[in-house]
Chain A
Amino acid sequence: MISIDHYIWLSAVLFSIGVLGVLFRRNAIIIFACIELMLNAVNLLMVAFSTSLNDSRGQVFVFFIMAVAAAEVAVGLAILVMVYRRTKSVDIDILNRLRG
């Protein structure tokens, strides 16, 4: 039987890969994808603890996190499409212009 320690390790590794992707790439779409990866690492850990503690509330919270992630992706990609129409680029360094 897989113990919960393995799930902790897997979630930590997945979350770190997401952080690495956010810091590593300049394409804004890939950064969104890596944020999704981090959210999924947290979801996986919550489901693992929910099963381990025999408590359904963790899975309900995972359900809510999924809803919030879907909303975030929809709004973020809409903003990204608009930024691309303005600047013809998805490089995040372009967004330095937002100041002022």
Chain B
Amino acid sequence: MLVVFSKNPVYSILYLIITFFSIAGHYVLLNAQFLAAVHVIVYAGAIMVLFLYVIMLLNLNKETEPHKSNLAKIAAVICAGTMMVVLVASLRGASQMMPNSGGNIGLVKNLGKVLFNEFLLPFEISSILLLAAMVGAVMVGKMDHNIPPVANNQKPNDNNN
């Protein structure tokens, strides 16, 4: 909740890091140790550093951001509250099963067996997706410097052709 309501974006991201660590704690409680480790590394290590770096790069820690009107805020609160009520009401009592804590499915050995036998093709596709995202991010980040020279160079080429 503090992620939404804190005025300063840096504080908001820091609260988000706390939330992610608590979710990682829940993963450990659910016998998913490998996912907990991956979650801490990926989210708290990589994504949050990326967020903080962008915020500090853009120098946004002043509260220069204009806020929405009161009508939009009230509408947002009503929408989110209604959605939470609907979710809870629809999911309450939908399942009567108890978690059996005896399984060790969250360990690296069993998860790796499933991942590399049954889900080998999605694994490779996700690796290609990550590579494409990385290349795309670098290209988009560098595009702002490259656009004016490219536009200037293409005009003479078109004229020559």
Contact = CB atoms under 8 A, between A and B. Distances in A.
A in complex with B: yes
Most chain B beta-carbon contacts within 10 A, residue among A10, A34, A79, A81:
A81
Nearest to A8: B91
A19 B81 CA distance: 9
Counting chain B residues whose Cβ lies within 8 A of the other chain, the interface size class is 35 or more
Contacts of A33: 3, 12-13, 16, 51
Contact of B4 (A25, A68, A85): A25
Contact of B83 (A16, A59, A64, A69): A16
Interface in B6-27: 9, 12-13, 16, 19-20, 23, 26-27
B88 A9 contact: yes
Interface of B: 1, 3-4, 9, 12-13, 16, 19-20, 23, 26-27, 29-32, 34-35, 38-39, 42-43, 46-47, 50-51, 54-55, 57-58, 60, 65-68, 72-73, 75-77, 79-81, 83-84, 87-88, 91-95, 97-101, 103, 105-106, 110-111, 114-115, 118-119, 122-123, 126-127, 129-130, 132-134, 136-138, 140-141, 143-144
